[in-house]
Amino acid sequence: MADDVVTAETGHAGGGGGDVFDVTIIGGGPTGLFAAFYAGMRQMKTKIIDSLPQLGGQLAALYPEKYIYDVGGFPRILAKDLVATMSEQALQYEPTVCLDEKVTGLTPDGDGIVTLTTDKGVHRSRTVVIAAGVGAFLPRKMDVPRVDELVGKGIQYFVTETAHLAGKRIVIVGGGDSAFDWALGLHEKAASCMLIHRSDKFRAHEDTILKVLQSPVDVRRFHELKAVHGEDRLEGVTIFDNRTGEEFYVECDSLLLNIGFLTNLGPIKEWGLEIDKNAVRVNSTMQTNLPGVYAAGDICTYVGKLKLIATGVGEAGTAANFAKTFIDPAAKAFPGHSSDMK
């Protein structure tokens, strides 16, 4: 597997405006990559457009060295390695890839073509699969004095590499999957690892919670961050028990803030799509209310929706196959397994 996040570009940003593609995929994360793979399997002329400078979406941008535990076929896999294998799978059919390019407009034309406007040009496609994750995202900031001053100096909202955390005293704030995954993945290389959460209700997977609780990680329920200390670099934090008010000073070298994200669909909300609670509503074929426009992954919603990588890649396969039938009504949505009887 590759050691680095995939940054190769097979197309040119903003290019291809005169060409009409069979399917254009907005988003180059796992969902978008699998959609590109399946579109290639169906011999569709495919393009991927992503606003980031590399393929991989949030996995590449936010936590390439975080282990992923809930993907089929891998007991655990580093995010950057999952990105590398999924990119290899998608790029074997040589889709055009436009990176560092933001889609700002989507307009279905009367001739059955969808026009996509970006900050670098215009693209035309017979179908579109929106696989843009949660849209634009920013970390939820910690409202504690001087935190912003020490971001990058021992305080992190994202962890893009872990080598510098070896042998360090780490404090993690949060009660969700990211906090527990980092606690599980870092405690063996750290000098010490503490996880604090404001309640005793955690939002991570039960198995991950159990493994962390059985590990040397010092888990402090009902504890919150009150202050950070240090001039040029983080030297320690003050935490407090929100039941009693009792305060504790903890020496640490690294503070990881995993308290969630603020998401925004941005221009997607202006494209005429049916939006439900900050997500694009789709039917059972992953089609939106706009003909020829599909959505898959975290960006879409329907009854019973679960936001998982595994779910997203399944939705991507569905979207790509039904996009094929939209272009060619004589084609089957599911062509069959190679092992089927003839």
| Structural domain count of the chain | 2
- Confidence grade of residue 9 (pLDDT, cut at 50, 70, 90): very low
Length of the chain as a residue count: 342
Binding-site residues for FAD, in ranges, read: 31, 50, 58, 63, 103, 137, 298, 339
Q: Are 251 and 170 in contact (CB under 8 A)?
A: no
**How far apart are alpha carbons 301 and 283 in whole angstroms?**
9
The domain boundary residue, chosen from 225, 259, 293: 259
Is residue 318's pLDDT more than 50?
A: yes
Do 148 and 133 reside in the same domain of the chain? no
Is residue 14's pLDDT more than 70?
A: no
Please list the residues that pair with 139 across neighbouring strands: 261
**How far apart are alpha carbons 315 and 122 in whole angstroms?**
27
The domain boundary residue, chosen from 259, 275, 304: 259
The per-residue pLDDT for range 149-162, each reduced to its tens digit, is 999 999 999 888 89
- The rounded mean pLDDT for the chain is 91
Do 254 and 169 reside in the same domain of the chain? yes
User: pTM (2 decimals)?
Assistant: 0.85
Do 38 and 71 reside in the same domain of the chain? yes
Question: What residues make up the domain containing 171?
Answer: 141-259
Is residue 92's pLDDT more than 60?
A: yes
- Confidence grade of residue 16 (pLDDT, cut at 50, 70, 90): very low
Do 103 and 149 reside in the same domain of the chain? no
Q: What are the residues whose beta carbons fall under 8 Å from the beta carbon of 30, sequence distance 6 or more?
A: 56, 57, 59, 82, 83, 86, 297, 309, 312, 313
Domain at 162, CATH number: 3.50.50.60
Do 153 and 48 reside in the same domain of the chain? no
Do 145 and 133 reside in the same domain of the chain? no
CA 119 remoteness from chain centre: 22
Out of 94-108, 129-143, 183-197, 234-248, pick the least confident: 129-143
* pLDDT value for 191: 97
61 in a structural domain:
yes
| Secondary structure of residue 308 in the 3-state scheme | coil
Do 97 and 147 reside in the same domain of the chain? no
Binding-site residues, in ranges, read: 31, 50, 58, 63, 103, 137, 298, 339
Do 110 and 152 reside in the same domain of the chain? no
8 in a structural domain:
no
